[in-house]
Chain A
Amino acid sequence: MALAADGLQVAPTRVERIPAAYWVVGALLLIMPLLANDFVLFQVFGWTFIMGLIALSLMFLAGYGGMVSLIQMTVAGVAGYMTAILGSSGVEQISLGLPWYVYIPAAIAIATLFGTLVGALAVRTEGIYTIMITLAIGSAFYYFAKQNYGIFNGYTGFNLVVPPDLFGVDWRQPIAFYYLTLGCAVLGYLAVLYVARAPFGLALQGVRDNPRRMAALGFNVTAHRILAYSLASVLAAVGGILLVWQNAQISPGTVGIPVVIDVLVIAVVGGLRHPIGPFIGALIYVLLRTFTPDVLAAFGQSGERYKLLIGLGFLLVVFFSPDGVLGLWERWRARRRRDPLKGAAQ
């Protein structure tokens, strides 16, 4: 993450403390346009960063707040729909055609408001109830978008939703789009890292571990949880706007229940402990989605069966490593660090 370096140059010791792996990954990501072709840049990496960003918002809620919310994809979808409705699209009778400096903040604000309201409802109950409630609200939104032609243009949705031509750059060009999504993903990643160490994030983790004690200490547990939903909604909203730009269209299928569950799969497979997890999960997911149909076809199977693979992979991860790929990695490192003779960590 090269941007991490730029932002922290105030204190040289902190720059030195950034692990070498960050420099390598950051440099690789920056020069990626030299190494990869347009398809990989736009379809694989662009999609990875977008899904990673949306899954990151889930990871923030689940990892730091202890609230597994399935609403994040719907929040992203609301932002995407607002981009199409307030901005311009192929459906001219509905789209308002406002300028970009109005519709982008408005889309983020409306999606955040939506996410906060859902959060306010969801935090009234705890634990697995949150999954039930957010899933119910998310699928209600899907059916509503599919049914409603006045605002959401029903089953067809909106097409030709493209990013504005800012600074004379066509942001849907693969290289420009790559850097746009990379920038948003890195900003989101750093924001989550920062919030996790800020007083609010620490209090949120306290609420996750022991809400009663935090309440006794004078923290407003409900307010912390709702604010966590708001912050997560901003991340998801940015992801949603990028997603609608990448596909150039949005329809109820974008926020359908399978996608809602995919976001959860990404976050869980990547790992809910650290903000890098969702991006790893998203990369695995996108690679599977993009390339398994071809691999399966090569084996004479129908390419449609990638869902089965994703489902089975998810089951395996949940069974054997509840912390996802990150958990596997940490376990492997712990084993390598162990002294073969003494058995204890060095």
Chain B
Amino acid sequence: MESFVRRHPVWAAIIAAVLAVFLWLVFAPWSDGMEDLFGRKRIFLNAVFSGITLGALYFLVASGFTLIFGLMRNVNLAHGSLYLLGGYLGFEVAEATGWWLFSFLVVFIAIAALGIVLQWVVFRRMEGQDLRQTLVTIGLSVVLADLMLWIWGGGSYTILTPEWLSGPMELPIVTGFRSNGQAVFLKYPTVRIVILIAAIVLGLAMWLALNRTRIGMLIRAGVDDREMLAASGVRIQLVFAGVFAFGAGLAGVAGIVGGTFQSLFPGEDTRFLLASLVVVIVGGMGSIPGAALGAAIIGLAEQIGLVYAPTYSVVFTFLIMALVLAFRPQGLLGGGR
């Protein structure tokens, strides 16, 4: 952070200014003139919060994707299918047991096991052949998508929010004032706030695990030079399988989250694959903080775009990606590999 400010003072100042304006827009009450210009503050705030929670969901999906990519150079294009499969499984478990949290455990284990099988049976055989691995993941995504269509049909599923999480929650952010001068606070669904907090906690935990533990050290060493790591006696296949399992399990869990505050239907797999791709391209390939930053940017751009320019919102996402590719091809926080 400090070194960044020292090296790029202009950029740091611009980013700080944008952040300050953004925070001011969120926290300060808007004057009438601004409301004329930008519409109601409540709408803006809702877009911002939906953007951030969507970003949290994107982060859950993309962090596994970027972790797998960073370590194994495997562009897992079946990642979206794992997301959708996790969501469907979570729906079944939650329906059968009526226990929302339990479904997270089951789905994480099931999808992680699937990930281990894939890594052990398929990808281990073609290590170092990036293109072939990617082609295999494409084939897998086609097969999985059709199998899921076979089993769950084309209908849309929504996982019921458990009672203790349903209903709105009042946030300490002023949206406007009533005629008697009383402040109106923003109301927002509790479940989304909980998911946002959970994603932040998870992100911090992953960052800590990567940077402060032994296994994290192994993974970082593998990202930099896996041959050297293997040569120094680490059983790298175990590390690979573990990371693949964790990334896959995360995608499955994200499926439950997505199924709870959105819905699950065929086609969601490619949507989330696209989201992970864009997030990872914008944030930087193989970087967890990059995935967090990219997810927040893309989530915000998508939701704010949807509110203020409904038929062009995808263009914003695309423009951000194109700009990043044009000026910083390795991604915002990507290393110079």
Contact = CB atoms under 8 A, between A and B. Distances in A.
A144 B313 CA distance: 8
A276 to B, nearest CB: 20
Contact of A148 (B143, B285, B311, B317): B311
Contact of A68 (B131, B280, B314): B131
B164 interface: no
Contacts of A319: 136
Contact of A131 (B134, B143, B322): B134
Nearest to B145: A307
Contacts of A307: 142, 145-146
A124 B277 contact: no
Interface string B128-153: 00111011101111110111011000
A81 to B, nearest CB: 15
B325 interface: yes
A95 B134 CA distance: 40
Contact of B325 (A121, A304, A310): A121
Contacts of B134: 128, 131
Given A121-B322, A129-B285, A144 B139 contact: no
A315 B312 contact: no
B295 to A, nearest CB: 14
What's the dominant secondary structure at chain B's contact region? helix
A144 B318 contact: yes
Contact of B75 (A131, A257, A314, A322): A131
B274 interface: yes
A261 B77 CA distance: 11
B139 A314 contact: yes
Interface string A133-147: 101110110011001
A304 B149 contact: yes
Q: How large is the interface on A (under 10, 10 to 19, 20 to 34, 35 or more residues)?
A: 35 or more
B281 interface: yes
Interface in B227-272: 270
B329 interface: yes
A35 B143 CA distance: 36
Contacts of A310: 142
B75 A128 contact: yes
Size range of the chain B interface in the assembly: 35 or more
A151 to B, nearest CB: 9
A294 B281 CA distance: 42
Contact of A147 (B147, B277, B278, B311): B311
Contacts of B310: 147
A268 B135 contact: yes
B311 A136 contact: no
A304 B148 CA distance: 12
Contact of A137 (B77, B131, B142, B318): B318
A314 to B, nearest CB: 4
Interface in B305-337: 310-315, 317-318, 321-322, 325-326, 329
B192 interface: no
Contacts of B311: 147-150, 154
Contact of B143 (A124, A143, A311): A311
A133 B281 CA distance: 8
Contacts of A124: 325-326, 329
A133 B136 CA distance: 18
A308 B270 contact: no
A323 to B, nearest CB: 11
A127 interface: yes
Contacts of A308: 143, 146-147, 150
6 contacts: A121-B322, A132-B281, A140-B278, A140-B321, A304-B146, A318-B135
Q: Nearest 6 A-B pairs (CB), nearest first?
A: A311-B142, A311-B143, A315-B139, A307-B146, A140-B318, A124-B329
Given A265-B142, A314-B138, 17 more contacts: A68-B131, A127-B130, A135-B77, A137-B321, A140-B278, A140-B314, A147-B310, A147-B314, A149-B311, A258-B270, A304-B146, A304-B149, A307-B142, A308-B147, A311-B140, A314-B135, A314-B142
